[in-house]
Amino acid sequence: MANPGSEDDTPTIKMDEPESRADGDGVSGLEQSREMTPPPLPPRPTTANLGLLDDRPTTADMGSLKLPKRTSRPHLQSQATTALSLTDIQIQSRGESASINSSPVSRDPSQKRSISRFGRFVNSSEDDSASTRSYAPTLDVPYDNVSMLGDEPSPAWKALNSQLDIDESLQLDEAFEDPLSERITLEFDDLEVRAGNGSNETVLLDQWSAKLKHFFVLSASGKPVYSRHGDDHLVSHYVGVAQTLISFYQGANDPLKTFTAGDTRFVMLAKGPLNLVAVSKIGESEAQLRNQLESLYMQVLSTLSLPSLEKIFSNRPSTDLRRPLQGTDVLLDGLSDGFTRGSPSTLLSSLECLRLRKTHRRIINDSLLKVRSPDLLYGLIVAAGRLVSVVRPKKHSLHPGDLHLIFNMLFEAGSVKAGGGENWIPLCLPGFNNTGFLYMYVSFLSPAEAAAVASSPVTAERPRTASDTEHTPSSDDLAIVFISPNKDAFYSLRSMRDSLITSLAQSKMLAALAAAMDAGRAPCSSILPGGTPLKHFLYKSRGNVQFTMPSFEPHFAGPIARRKLMTLYAHLHEVVHVRNSHLKVLHAVSREATALAWVTPVFELYCVAGPGVARQTVTQAANKVVQWIRKEEERVFIIGGAVF
């Protein structure tokens, strides 16, 4: 442990802002950030601002649920604490929404007109005002609803409205009963194989259009680079339309960012020589889809690095990028499907850690530092897809977007893991430095294999001999990931792994890890004993850029239930992240669920309870979660990590 000092002072993993990831060149994220703990600590600017929120949280912005013991804090502005009134929602919102136009450029009237042709919100000014009216009496925060209702409802309001049932609650029913979610089970099936004579074209097209989500990457000249579903032949027509639209607006210096048609949202992202398009029927917001596209773009950069991407196109603008990207479909598919399936990690742009005793984590960190190879830049220990420990130089943080790419490669795409053995992978981590390559040593070990490594002297027999190859890598494996700028560092990192495993075995930490992995995520009911009404929650520590959650079991085990839950979380997330929203606490009710979102500069908390649960009850449960986190913080989050 680099800093056993007070928790207020402990350096965080230091991940810099997702916002800066794609365009920063050179080394980024060097600034030191400080750990934050939940309120009521003194406020500080957060370094993990997601970029979707209002610029700088201040004390006045800091939210806190109105609990008896904290109502005496006069400096907490009442607007943040009034959410316990009998409102379904309260919002302070001004002007622009991230959902319609996200750049000043696109505020141009012509843009609005053009978008309104597709818009499903725009033609319903009557509905808008009606629903606004139904909310107006319950909104007890001073906000400029007059101007919002002026000549034209503001985009923010319209965007928000899209989340609201005209009746009395958030659109939770749709989130929970949404027949689209049922289709998630077919979403990842491949299309039928195209018949040689094209006779099954219609079938293919039907299957293709039934997909809930599409992602496309096109070169600026309109060549398809990637499509999640369908072959070139099938998508070429659509890609052509998309390209025409994009270049029409680019020609007018007014880039098309998003539009909706019926229930389908289209989002475009122009990145250098590439255009990326997301098409979603599952009610995600523009900002969420844009993040997903950013992530796909980061994957492309990670494969090629920015200079070589630019060089490819400056040499020949009509280059077919499929060739240099050959074989990365699995990575892009992995990302896409993760987004479609709905993962808390991507929704919250943060990572989950393995819950581990603080002393154990410290021993593991110390081991990492002790055996560190001079070739090492970053090291990660990942257990069952959750972070155990991070080792990094003092002046370099780990970018969450980069970590997401690594996790996707290791745990979603599967090609690395399926290979067994060890891997040596060149990759660009665009958040760290989008101009060059790093080299990643990856070793997956089952606890038994780890024991075998530990029991044999360094550089002696590898564990993976015929006798123990029956084990196929599973998500229960330990992944050791060491990243180096030196392409010849494989053997030195490999012996670092051997030393690490030996050291962890000696300190009994392998057993501790195996136990923690076996334990898995605790269900809500055991985290919050005494009959909590909560079925699930997500808690993100913004300072640490990490989140924690209980098990999806028993309520959300299957893919449909999980997608519905994630849709609900996405709705909550969107509403509290509408640009310039000062919304801090959101209550939402429906026939099937009661939900709460609570955002402060320190954390984001999303809670879901069964239907008909009183707000007060949910609120109390939410506070229990916060109390639990406060107690468990150093178990559920990596605070500081191993820094050298």
Q: Chain centroid to CA 100: how far?
A: 21
Site for other proteins contains 377 (CB under 8 A): no
Site for other proteins contains 327 (CB under 8 A): yes
Among 490, 507, 523, 635, binds other proteins (CB under 8 A): 490
Nearer to other proteins by C-beta: 230 or 463? 463
For the bound state, the minimum distance from the C-beta of residue 261 to other proteins, rounded and expressed in Å, comes to 35
For the bound state, the minimum distance from the C-beta of residue 296 to other proteins, rounded and expressed in Å, comes to 17
Q: Which of 250, 240, 271, 285 is nearest to 99 (CA)?
A: 285
Q: Which of 348, 304, 333 is nearest to 52 (CA)?
A: 348
Identify the bridge partners of residue 389 per DSSP, sorted by sequence position. Answer: 381
For the bound state, the minimum distance from the C-beta of residue 472 to other proteins, rounded and expressed in Å, comes to 8
For the bound state, the minimum distance from the C-beta of residue 216 to other proteins, rounded and expressed in Å, comes to 21
Site for other proteins contains 320 (CB under 8 A): no
Q: Which of 547, 502, 544, 475 is nearest to 368 (CA)?
A: 502
Site for other proteins contains 197 (CB under 8 A): no
Dihedrals phi, psi of 507, to nearest 5 degrees: -85, 10
Q: Which of 348, 353, 361 is nearest to 382 (CA)?
A: 353
Single out the segment in contact with other proteins by CB under 8 A; choices: 20-28, 155-163, 255-263, 407-415. Answer: 407-415
Among 86, 460, 530, 531, binds other proteins (CB under 8 A): 460
Nearer to other proteins by C-beta: 131 or 303? 303
Q: What is the rounded CA–CA span in Å between residue 613 and residue 611?
A: 6
Site for other proteins contains 69 (CB under 8 A): no
For the bound state, the minimum distance from the C-beta of residue 329 to other proteins, rounded and expressed in Å, comes to 9
Evaluate whether 597 touches 589 at the Cβ level (below 8 Å): no
- 631, exposed or middle or buried, with CB in 10 Å at 0-12, 13-18, 19+? exposed
Site for other proteins contains 491 (CB under 8 A): yes
Nearer to other proteins by C-beta: 45 or 421? 421
Q: Which of 444, 454, 462 is nearest to 507 (CA)?
A: 454
For the bound state, the minimum distance from the C-beta of residue 193 to other proteins, rounded and expressed in Å, comes to 9
Site for other proteins contains 307 (CB under 8 A): no
What is the SS3 assignment for 255?
coil
Single out the segment in contact with other proteins by CB under 8 A; choices: 85-93, 264-272, 319-327, 503-511. Answer: 319-327
Among 34, 73, 462, 635, binds other proteins (CB under 8 A): 462
What are the DSSP calls for 108-164, one per residue? Answer: SHHHHHHHHTT-SSTT-HHHHHHHHHHHGGG--S---HHHHTSSS--HHHHHHHTTB
Single out the segment in contact with other proteins by CB under 8 A; choices: 393-401, 453-461, 477-485, 633-641. Answer: 453-461
DSSP state of 449: H
What is the pattern of x (binds other proteins, CB under 8 A) and - over residues 432-451? --------x-----------
For the bound state, the minimum distance from the C-beta of residue 7 to other proteins, rounded and expressed in Å, comes to 39
Which tokens is 196 given?
């040689």
Which helix (H) or strand (E) segment is 483 a member of?
strand 478-484
Q: What is the rounded CA–CA span in Å between residue 446 and residue 541?
A: 30
Residue 95 identity = G
Q: What is the rounded CA–CA span in Å between residue 195 and residue 17?
A: 47
Nearer to other proteins by C-beta: 327 or 531? 327
Site for other proteins contains 416 (CB under 8 A): yes
Q: What is the rounded CA–CA span in Å between residue 616 and residue 319?
A: 60
Site for other proteins contains 466 (CB under 8 A): yes
Which helix (H) or strand (E) segment is 376 a member of?
none
Report, in angstroms and rounded to the nearest whole number, the Rg of the chain calculated over CA atoms.
Answer: 25
Q: What is the rounded CA–CA span in Å between residue 470 and residue 491?
A: 25
Among 253, 465, 531, 616, binds other proteins (CB under 8 A): 465
Q: What is the largest CA-CA distance in the chain?
A: 77
Site for other proteins contains 487 (CB under 8 A): yes
Site for other proteins contains 418 (CB under 8 A): yes
Evaluate whether 163 touches 575 at the Cβ level (below 8 Å): yes
Site for other proteins contains 396 (CB under 8 A): no
Single out the segment in contact with other proteins by CB under 8 A; choices: 39-47, 73-81, 227-235, 413-421. Answer: 413-421
Site for other proteins contains 248 (CB under 8 A): no
Site for other proteins contains 486 (CB under 8 A): no
Evaluate whether 129 touches 157 at the Cβ level (below 8 Å): no
Evaluate whether 359 touches 634 at the Cβ level (below 8 Å): no
For the bound state, the minimum distance from the C-beta of residue 409 to other proteins, rounded and expressed in Å, comes to 7
For the bound state, the minimum distance from the C-beta of residue 29 to other proteins, rounded and expressed in Å, comes to 24
Positions that interact with other proteins (CB under 8 A): 196, 303-304, 323-324, 326-327, 330, 409, 413-416, 418-427, 440, 456, 459-462, 464-466, 469, 487-488, 490-491, 494
